[in-house]
Amino acid sequence: MTVTASDPNLEILLNHLAASRGFDFTAYKRSTLARRIAVRMAAVHCDDYGAYLDYLQVDPEEFGRLFNTILINVTSFFRDAAAWEYLRDHVLPRVVDQRREGEPIRVWTAACASGEETYSVAMLLAEALGAEDAARRVKIYATDIDDEALSVARHAVYTAKQLESIPPDLREKYLEPVAGRYQVKKEIRRLAIFGRHDLLQDAPISRVDLLICRNVLMYFNSESQARILERFGFALSDGGFLFLGKAETLLSRSVVVTPEDAKLRIFRKLPGARNVIRGNAADPNPGRPAPATGPALELAFQRGLAAQLLVDANGTLLFANEAARRLFGISQIDNGKAIKDLELSYRPVELRSRVEEAITEGNTSVVRDIPWPANGGSTLWYELAIIPLAGADGRRLAVNCVFTDVTQQKLLQREMDASRSELAATYEELQSANEELETTNEELQSTIEELETTNEELQSTNEELETINEELQSTNEELEQVNAGMEEQAGELNRANTFLESILSSIRAGVVVLSQNLEVQIWNAEAEDQWGLRREEVRGRYFLGLDIGLPAENLIQPIRDCLNAASNHVEREVLVEATNRRGRSVQCRVRCTPLLEDDHRVAGVILLIDDNPVGSSREAAAT
């Protein structure tokens, strides 16, 4: 499998995810995305992005697995202990002091994953304020884009291993055992409000005193990082604190926050600093002057400097002013002709379809940068405005096509662009040294972030392997229990078989057990001695078809009576003349008894064959 972050098919895949599922990963670093997507591609045996895109379209559940793989929810309680100690000892006391008694304290834990850091700060605030005061004043808004992680955070149930980094006193005070695990107590859970939030798309939470977003920015590209930090600046109240991850830093030109402890990645918003989330303002829409009437209208139309055409709703050229006739070489006799029959319907621009669209939809449209050859080989540039004209009743009567000469503006624009390019080149030369230093710094920062990302991925993979190992160990223990049970059952079965064999061997008569189809099921040692056939030779064979010297026709009716018996007390006995395995004639007493199952249904017949019915011993008979 050969996939790279620069593969254009990766962009196609990301655009498909954004269009079909509403999750836009295009703001993430391509190197990180390529590594995480490669994990899923290897799992489903896809060699390239195109094949994986096809697989996503076939298996809709794969998107959930891919989403969970891309979002590396690696977190823990009090992660980076030194930073949390500084937060506890120096930041939270100032947050509390900045608010008057009774005022709310607002905290935002962005990208909270499964909630460990949310409950970490909740425990510290409960310690700083007391449980009752914290319940009244503290609101912790915990957000993430991963719904599954938010579900885990809301339940707040963790394993003993996940709690190892919590100080023992806090662990004993704020967690309680639940079904072999541990749950954050209700008074701490009530401090947090969990909700889904996209850092790039959704509006930020405002007026927060402490904003925690750790080891998240490093997954985004530089532009997206700047947008998110801009939103964080808007969210913080004056003097509010921003707590980032150890592999992250702010843009060097930020004027909104200042480092409180740069090494621990804790920043504070400057008092009075203002920043807003930039948007696009709407362009003004000036009104148009009301058209003149009477002769003045015709004169203004004919002598206007801009070339103008008037076309009615049927596509007929009504008028062309002097400027239009000079420009396009048309004459008065062209008035009244269908515009489709004139060259200007397609030159210098396709005009017929635009006129029809203006009549149909009633919208004014503008076509810019239309070239037109002028005398001397130069090129003129025009801007075309297509304006539908409606009567007092609202019915659209005609369309006015106005060609405005923008050649001077075009030339000025080109000169301005050239000047801007020269100024930009000069600025780049003056700033080259500074940019080289910034580039080097960003490369180093990017390397740190990549290493941290790789470490996060390795930790995630290690946790997944540990989980799989625990599941395998649990499965092995279950299999061992099942095997032990099977061995015990096999032992009981062997003992039962041995006991049954002992009983059959002790009976001094031939014992034959037949199924409902009269196939031999049991053939004891005495039967072998009587008729000379071993049990392996007769098992499963049709009894009445055996050639053993026992007249089968005499046994058909007794056997049938037993099979059709309505009572378990039925027993039939017959005396038959037979020939034993030694060729001697013997008189045999054959007793037929029904073979009953647990529910008293007849499952077959038991035959008890005694070849010495008068009671003499076998040795005497032989003599």
Percent of the chain with pLDDT over 70: 89
Residue 428 has pLDDT above 50, yes or no: yes
pLDDT at 92: 94
Q: What is the mean pLDDT of residues 166-191?
A: 93
Mean pLDDT of the chain: 83
511 within 8 A of 504, measured Cβ to Cβ: yes
| 297-402 and 504-622 share one fold | yes
DSSP E strands: which ranges in 111-155? Answer: 138-144
Residue 302 has pLDDT above 70, yes or no: no
Query: What's the DSSP call for residue 217?
Result: G
Taking only the tens place, the pLDDT of each residue in 321-363 is 888 888 888 887 788 888 888 887 888 888 888 888 888 888 8
pLDDT at 285: 36
3-state helix, strand, coil in the chain (%, to 5): 45, 20, 30
pLDDT at 464: 87
Q: What is the mean pLDDT of residues 181-208?
A: 91
Question: Around 320, how many Cα atoms within 13 Å sit in the side-chain half-sphere?
Answer: 22
Question: Around 186, how many Cα atoms within 13 Å sit in the side-chain half-sphere?
Answer: 0
Dig out the tokens for 570 from the structure: 């039925």
pLDDT at 167: 94
pLDDT at 160: 92
Long-range contacts of 186-189 (CB under 8 A, 24+ apart): 187/126, 187/131, 187/135, 188/119, 188/122, 188/123, 188/126, 188/156, 189/119, 189/156
Q: pLDDT tier at 582 (50, 70, 90 boundaries)? A: confident
For 286-327, give the DSSP string: PPPPPPP-THHHHHHHHH-SSEEEEEETTSBEEEE-HHHHHH
Q: If you search the block for the tokens 């009549």, which residue do you land on?
A: 359
Residue 187 has pLDDT above 80, yes or no: yes
| 544 vs 505, more confident | 544
pLDDT at 175: 95
Q: What is the mean pLDDT of residues 312-320?
A: 85
Dig out the tokens for 383 from the structure: 């801007």
Determine phi and psi for 348, rounding to 5 degrees: -90, -5
For 360-379, give the DSSP string: HH---EEEEEEEEE-GGG-E
Q: pLDDT tier at 370 (50, 70, 90 boundaries)? A: confident
Q: 8-70, what's its fold?
A: Chemotaxis Receptor Methyltransferase Cher; domain 1 (1.10.155)
Q: 504-622, what's its fold?
A: Beta-Lactamase (3.30.450)
* Dist CA 67 CA 75 (whole Å): 17
Question: Taking the CB of residue 20, how many other CB atoms lie within 10 A of it?
Answer: 12
- Architecture of the domain spanning 81-269: 3-Layer(aba) Sandwich (3.40)
* Dist CA 197 CA 150 (whole Å): 11
Q: Among the CATH numbers 3.30.450.20, 3.20.20.70, 3.40.50.300, 3.40.30.10, which is that of 297-402?
A: 3.30.450.20
Decide: helix, strand or coil at residue 585. Answer: strand
Q: Give the Å distances, CA to CA, from 28 to 25, 36, 334, 444.
A: 6, 11, 60, 18
pLDDT at 409: 86
Contacts of residue 32, Cβ cutoff 8 Å, sequence gap at least 6: 219, 450, 453
Of the candidates 88, 136, 145, 108, the residue with the CA atom closest to the CA atom of residue 236: 108
Query: What's the DSSP call for residue 220?
Result: B
* Dist CA 533 CA 547 (whole Å): 10
Contacts of residue 232, Cβ cutoff 8 Å, sequence gap at least 6: 110, 204, 211, 213, 242
Among 35-39, 276-280, 405-409, the minimum mean pLDDT is found in 276-280
* Dist CA 157 CA 176 (whole Å): 9
Residue 414 has pLDDT above 90, yes or no: no
Domain extents for the chain? 8-70, 81-269, 297-402, 406-451, 504-622
Q: Give the Å distances, CA to CA, from 440 to 279, 436, 444, 512, 597.
A: 31, 6, 6, 95, 87
Residue 195 has pLDDT above 50, yes or no: yes
Taking only the tens place, the pLDDT of each residue in 520-559 is 989 988 888 888 888 888 899 998 888 888 887 888 889 8
* Dist CA 162 CA 177 (whole Å): 13
Long-range contacts of 447-452 (CB under 8 A, 24+ apart): 448/247, 449/218, 449/247, 449/248, 450/31, 450/32, 451/247, 452/215, 452/218, 452/245, 452/246, 452/247
Q: If you search the block for the tokens 């007026």, which residue do you land on?
A: 207
